[in-house]
Structure 1
């Protein structure tokens, strides 16, 4: 007895096509997850390299570390009403890109081998990210403070916890950067100093 498969050919082809489609979709999903993992890894690796912890900045300021330049990106008026001690002001809003890049290149030229750290109004302010991107595509690498002025002045417990630190010593008013006048021990949080 001979088996006639002619009636089954079309359904078999359809089943094979469906199975191949499912396999293709599953493999695409695996590629998507792999791409996502790669994107996440790149983000966190770069975040670690680019962002500066406010806790670390407190320590660096309090120990008179002069290996960095702190730049406040807010307006002159905002800066003069209060800024992080030692910060200079480069009010970038309203400046064209060429001028911004030029100012930071000049800053680097005047301060070779110093790290440049920028901050703006708040942690959710994207100005620091935009300026960091603009500068990096023009060969100027800057780091960004993980918090902005608002968190620094009004919510220091967010990053300093219950540490007994006078954050007022890290804030100045006026058009000049100011100098830190506290002691290095002020920033020895959870450590023997």
Structure 2
């Protein structure tokens, strides 16, 4: 594996991730604080195009009668295995995404999930690995006027409202990741 700095490399091309990306300290510092606001009343998210990232928050929303269009889960709550449960009526997609990364596979899977969701379907993306960083592609592909929700352990559920500038915010944050470039040597 070769490493290169994100600043020297474009990481997105036509909504496609060009490399697997590894989280860095600079990224952690940039996203330390929640990117949205705590949900005080579920009425504030009723009726919007909504997605969720995380098992606990997904099932909490469903229990409360709110069905996210796209749900991204990994079968874990606070790193403890809870088993994968796909909500009834959801199409299931699966992808691989190790901890600390955003893989091209996960990015493409989430992109396809949103394509299906925008055509009226409910989609559950089951992640083999960890879904923590997949809020980036969820935020990128959520249509303006929509929102996505994630759980903040010990605090509550955070809602991130998406507007026209959200994609640019995600693009700026993606350059704080370290691109992973695999090379093969031929003999």
TM-score range, shorter chain: 0.3 to 0.5
| Larger RCO, structures 1/2 (Cα 8 Å, 6+ apart) | 2
Larger Rg: 1
Structure having the higher helix fraction is 1
- Give the TM-score normalised by the residue count of structure 2: 0.32
- Give the TM-score normalised by the residue count of structure 1: 0.32
